[in-house]
Structure 1
Amino acid sequence: MVKFSIGLSNAIPAALNKGKIYISKSSPQCVLDAYSVQFQNNFSMFLRSRAAEMVAGGRMVLSFMGRSSIDPTTEESCYHWELLAQALMSMVTEGLIEEEKLDSFNAPYYGPCPEELKMEIQKEGSFIIDRLDHFEIDWDGGVEELTSTMSLPLARGQRVAKTIRAVVESMFELHFGRGIMDLLFTRYAQIVDGYLSKNSANYINLVISIIKKH
């Protein structure tokens, strides 16, 4: 699984993406552009670095969380971040988090579409694309998980919240403080559970096989 760190603290002024922590339908074009450009820079550097390590004809298989649409604001790309922002905003409303803290946080994540991957690989020039596929994965993994105490299935929102928390908690702690983590992800689980009761939701996983040119 390939994961890129995206440094956006200086690229996106806080007020321009107010109340959000990632790309959303309400984000201005400059926010979308900042994420896209940072991804291009990071992925191009990644390709150059791997090309220097590989022999001609060598193969590399990469797996990405991404999207199938060219539109970066589609729900398949970013809606789990939208719901997490809702949980944070509820805590801002109650005075548990400073609004400036929320507005100054931009998630260091970008889910590319197949066209973006192809474009950067072709632009960098060290590899040819052998195969590119995408797969849909349920937000909650599609498998019930039992609670440790009562042997009852966890609610779908709880399963999603546990997964997301495992990935993002360390950077959220650093920015918002450790004391709010339990409450934040409890609220997030409730919001996700409500959303999944009315909607189906899938992540898009991109898998690409590329070969080092001779």
Structure 2
Amino acid sequence: MAMIQVEQVLRMKEGTDETSYVKTSYIQKQVLLLTKSIKEKAIKELYCKERPEILCIADLGCSSAESNTLSVVSELIETVENARRELENRKQEYQVYLNDLPRNDFNTIFRSLTKFTNQLKLRMGNGFGHCFVNGVPGSFYGRLFPSKHLHFVHSSYSLMWLSQVPQGIEDNKRNIYIARTSPPNVLRAYYEQFENDFFNFLKCRSEEVVFGGMMVLTILGRKSTQQYSKESSYEWELLATALNDMVLEGYIDEEKLNTFNIPQYTPSAEEIGFIVEKEGSFTLNEADISEVSWESKEHEYCKINSYKAFDPYDFVKCMRSVAEPLLISHFSEAIIEELFKRYREIVQASMANDTNVFINVTVSLTRR
């Protein structure tokens, strides 16, 4: 996949059916809860120090799950409103930008905006100013906003997606991402693509964020210093197992599998810190590592209380909502149902024996 192709096909599954991103993104929701205090601390600090007349907030990689994106915006505004009242400051105006790639399902979010703004006014009560919301289609690896315009930038579970599949990884055969059997050059190519992309992201934001402005970024990552680890690659390894089985049974051409690689990289906190320092425009205030189970909180509760055995279908639907557009663009829609039927069986066998988690790296940055 060339860069332009990734931009054209990389999106979460649109719509509102049971395998859409809107209905399946429970892991992303749990991550937002885990990082809530970091976001609130950062935006309160920014507001109390800067007190801008119009507070400009950008959510980069907003996707189509309005319950996730708009709940973050609501929480940020509530934090500022509480600080504003403590300071007995004037009414605050907010300019909110929701960004994602052009093929993102913005309409699902836009349909919720009237309800969102009405609830926001009701929740904030008397003295609340105005909140304006705009959609901004485009890649955050390039410029998106005017110079010195943004005060606060938030991004969650987006920056692990690369602008393109790394070049020179043709020998990563039978794998679809970094795996146990990936040659060293594949690991190096993936890191170099991430370093280049994240550097460009920081450089573009350095021109758009005001001095003293802040960013809170949560990236699907890893604790291990090793580029390959189960915590950062396992979900794709299991999907590769299903694809390889389908190659052996003639559903998929082997060459098709050998030319498919996921445009993603899960960095360590050390790698993120190194690139932040190398680019030089932001101060790293803190880096937090958290983890979230593949199981939803509801399933964990049921398991603890012996209500029922865990069915991995929710996790499989969540992965499907993320991966399906990429898979269809490369293999065609004909394989999708069979692939995820097999993936569900493989995931269920894995989760019966192991506790699987995603690792999240959250960084708080200030524009120098």
TM-score (norm 2): 0.54
Partners of 2:258 and 2:295 in 1: how far apart?
28
Partners of 1:6 and 1:28 in 2: how far apart?
22
Residue aligning to 2:187: 32
Larger radius of gyration: 2
Residue aligning to 2:202: 47
Q: 1:128 aligns with which of 283, 299, 302?
A: 283
Root-mean-square deviation (Å): 1.7
Query: Aligned letter for 1:12?
Result: I
SS of 2:235's equivalent in the other structure is helix
Tell me, yes or no, if structure 1 residue 99 matches structure 2 residue 288: no
Partners of 1:113 and 1:35 in 2: how far apart?
13
What residue ranges of structure 1 are gaps of 5+ in the alignment?
146-151
Partners of 1:117 and 1:29 in 2: how far apart?
20
Partners of 1:123 and 1:9 in 2: how far apart?
21
Structure 1 residue 25: deviation in Å?
A: 1.1
Partners of 1:143 and 1:83 in 2: how far apart?
24
Percent identity over paired residues:
39
Structure 1 residue 155: deviation in Å?
A: 4.6
Tell me, yes or no, if structure 1 residue 65 matches structure 2 residue 220: yes
Residue aligning to 1:11: 168
Structure 1 residue 160: deviation in Å?
A: 1.4
Residue aligning to 1:158: 313
- Whether the 8 Å contact between 1:72 and 1:78 is mirrored in structure 2 is no
Residue aligning to 2:366: 211
Q: CA offsets, 1:16-71, max 9 Å, x none?
A: 11110000111110000010000000000000001100111111000110001111
- After superposition, the Cα gap between the structure-2 partners of 1:23 and 1:17, relative to the gap in structure 1 and judged at 3 Å, is same
Partners of 2:274 and 2:166 in 1: how far apart?
26
- After superposition, the Cα gap between the structure-2 partners of 1:88 and 1:153, relative to the gap in structure 1 and judged at 3 Å, is farther
Structure 1 residue 10: deviation in Å?
A: 3.5
- Whether the 8 Å contact between 2:222 and 2:359 is mirrored in structure 1 is yes
- Whether the 8 Å contact between 1:65 and 1:205 is mirrored in structure 2 is yes
- After superposition, the Cα gap between the structure-2 partners of 1:34 and 1:202, relative to the gap in structure 1 and judged at 3 Å, is same
What residue ranges of structure 2 are gaps of 5+ in the alignment?
1-155, 301-306
- Whether the 8 Å contact between 2:206 and 2:367 is mirrored in structure 1 is yes
SS of 2:250's equivalent in the other structure is coil
Query: Aligned letter for 2:185?
Result: C
Residue aligning to 2:99: none
Residue aligning to 1:199: 354
SS of 2:285's equivalent in the other structure is strand
Structure 1 residue 158: deviation in Å?
A: 1.4
Structure 1 residue 73: deviation in Å?
A: 1.0
Partners of 1:211 and 1:26 in 2: how far apart?
39
- Whether the 8 Å contact between 2:176 and 2:260 is mirrored in structure 1 is yes
Partners of 2:309 and 2:318 in 1: how far apart?
12
Residue aligning to 1:148: none
Partners of 1:156 and 1:58 in 2: how far apart?
44
- Whether the 8 Å contact between 1:139 and 1:201 is mirrored in structure 2 is yes
| Structure 1 segment 80-119 matched on structure 2, within 5 A | 80-119=235-274
SS of 1:132's equivalent in the other structure is strand
Structure 1 residue 5: deviation in Å?
A: 2.4
Partners of 1:187 and 1:86 in 2: how far apart?
9
Q: CA offsets, 1:101-157, max 9 Å, x none?
A: 100011011100000000000000000101110111001233239xxxxxx979532
Structure 1 residue 6: deviation in Å?
A: 4.2
Tell me, yes or no, if structure 1 residue 188 matches structure 2 residue 343: yes
TM-score (norm 1): 0.91
Higher-RCO chain (CA-CA 8 Å, sequence separation at least 6): 1
- Whether the 8 Å contact between 1:161 and 1:185 is mirrored in structure 2 is yes
Count of residues in correspondence between the two structures? 205
